[in-house]
Amino acid sequence: MKPDHLQELAELEDTYWWHVAKRQLITSLLAKFAPPPGLLVEGGIGSSRNLLEFSKLGYDVTGFDVMPEAVELGQQKGLLRVAVHDLEQPWPVEDESLRAIVLLDVIEHVEHPVAVLSHVKRALRPDGAVIVTVPAYQWLFSDWDRLLGHYRRYSPSLLKEQASAAGLKLAWRTHWNSFTFPAAVATRCWERMFSSRRTADFPRVTPQVNNLLLGAARLERRLLLTVGVPFGLSVVGVLQHAESV
């Protein structure tokens, strides 16, 4: 993540529909699969807004990021245990010590995701869970992904394959963000034919549209937490130890 994108993230995460809706989804999944108390680590802390929310839920939180600017921002917010660390290197935590691990739009940014997930597996408690979000559909890979530093986009089968290689199982998964899928596909097709993207800024919307999108996300969340949704711009997965029941 570039420093200017981190600053944009910090400015938007409290109110922008995409960030708010994803945070609400993740807290719902944490409550279902790995409720507090316990130690929670977020890999790729960004602006630390999510860590602050997880702390309010009752977790003992910490996190890692390769960007010193992100860690400094988190420490300014009172999160003194966040640290600069490359997720592809062994994590500086005790074996089987983590109740929950959160990787939100992170592993598409690393060259060797199985290495990251192997460190995750070592650190995860037998009763713990990993919440993962990744961008969906490799055929949608575009300038947007290149500007954001993505190595790949995901299918559920690819996420399952990488998890299995690390000794984890994909215990639950669904797509997310189905309601903006048609617009995103149309935009990608237009850019491929007629223009190239030069920035990866979040599309600005009016407060009214922002509220409408939050409402759509709320309705979708009710559906995906029960029966799932068959398509969407992201894949959301819950990983657990392969041997867990």
Domain residue ranges of the chain, discontinuous segments joined by +: 3-241
What is the structure's pLDDT at 189? 83
CB atoms within 10 A of CB 55: 17
Amino acid at 95: D
| 101/85 Cα distance (integer angstroms) | 15
Q: Quick one: 3-241 is in which CATH superfamily?
A: Vaccinia Virus protein VP39 (3.40.50.150)
| 40/99 Cα distance (integer angstroms) | 6
38 neighbors 60 (Cβ within 8 angstroms): yes
pLDDT tens-place string over residues 159-190: 999 999 999 999 999 999 999 999 988 988 88
Which helix (DSSP H) or strand (DSSP E) does residue 72 occupy?
helix 68-76
pLDDT tens-place string over residues 73-101: 999 999 999 999 999 999 999 999 999 99
| 110/69 Cα distance (integer angstroms) | 19
pTM: 0.94
